[in-house]
Amino acid sequence: MRRVRLTLGLLALLGVVPSGPATGQAVLVQIGPKAGDTLHMRLEQRVEVTGSIGSSAADSGMSAISSMTVHSRTIVQRSDATGTTVLTITDSVALSSTPPQLPPAAEAQLERALSGQQVRMRIAHDGAAEVLPGAGDVEPEIQALVSQMPAALPSQRIAVGERWTHTMRLPAPGRPGLVGSVSLKTTFRLDSLGRRGRLAFISMRGELSHAEEADELPGGALHRTMTGSLEGYLVVDRDRGWLTQSMSILAVHSVIEPPQATGAPPMNLRMRITQRMRTLDKP
């Protein structure tokens, strides 16, 4: 009994135990910050890639790790019944990779080029973000990172314990012309409310599905298959109308089978993308 009380006390200190709306009461969980707000954010991304040829772990392989940390400001320019218009300014970017992908001088130059960029976006209440025209010559890496707000939130009121799903169509990695060949179906759950209902704690689990592709080559057909999974969480500040923090891990396994006529063994590629975002009270 004492252990149970200690556990509940710890959860209460963390703000996880529902203390506002009564259990079972439905609430709105949406994006909608106030015009004039400035939100300081820190975003971290780590990409781990491993590859091997053949089916044995002892076969020759490769591995690479790259990381990016972005500090940015999001200025809320307009907020209305349909969504929010924001201007995101990239204050600083830090890059690293193992083994090094660029010489130190070139990496520093790229960091300077990425810093200071601005992106204007329209964000719907469910979190879907769209880069608006006139963003200028913005690097794709920055557009992708500042658009990480997931279209994950429900349009209707939900109660603690309820689930909902969202399916996103994605292009096949390295094959932008095949949009829709990969889909990510994610199930979300409102786990709890904290700080008298102000914070919404949401967990998510997803599965990546991909139709097998084949390219006809002179020596036969090259086949690609892909599987993957997603897990993570979101914390939404309902009063502020913004994400307080989020974390996601996307694991993808791809198999590339060369034409049979070549006699070459299949190639296995595994990618693990970890993203963490936190809204800071101070820059």
**Quick check: is 12 in a domain?**
no
Q: What pLDDT is stored for residue 162 in this prediction?
A: 95
**Quick check: is 22 in a domain?**
no
First to last CA, the chain: 43
Q: What pLDDT is stored for residue 7 in this prediction?
A: 36
**Quick check: is 7 in a domain?**
no
Which residue reads 């084949």 in tokens? 214
**Quick check: is 1 in a domain?**
no
Q: Using alpha carbons only, what angle is made at residue 12 by residues 7 and 16, rounded to the nearest 5 degrees?
A: 100
Residue 87 CA to residue 278 CA, distance in Å, equals 18
Which CATH number does the domain housing residue 41 bear? 2.30.230
pTM: 0.79
**Mean per-residue pLDDT, 245-268:** 86
Domain that residue 255 falls in: 28-280
Which tokens go with 224? 């690609």
- Please give the torsion angle defined by the CA atoms of residues 102, 104, 106 and 112, in that order, rounded to the nearest 10 degrees: 120
**Quick check: is 17 in a domain?**
no
Number of domains composing the chain? 1
**Quick check: is 11 in a domain?**
no
pLDDT tens-digit map of 180-237: 567 889 999 999 999 889 999 999 999 988 766 666 666 666 777 888 999 999 999 9
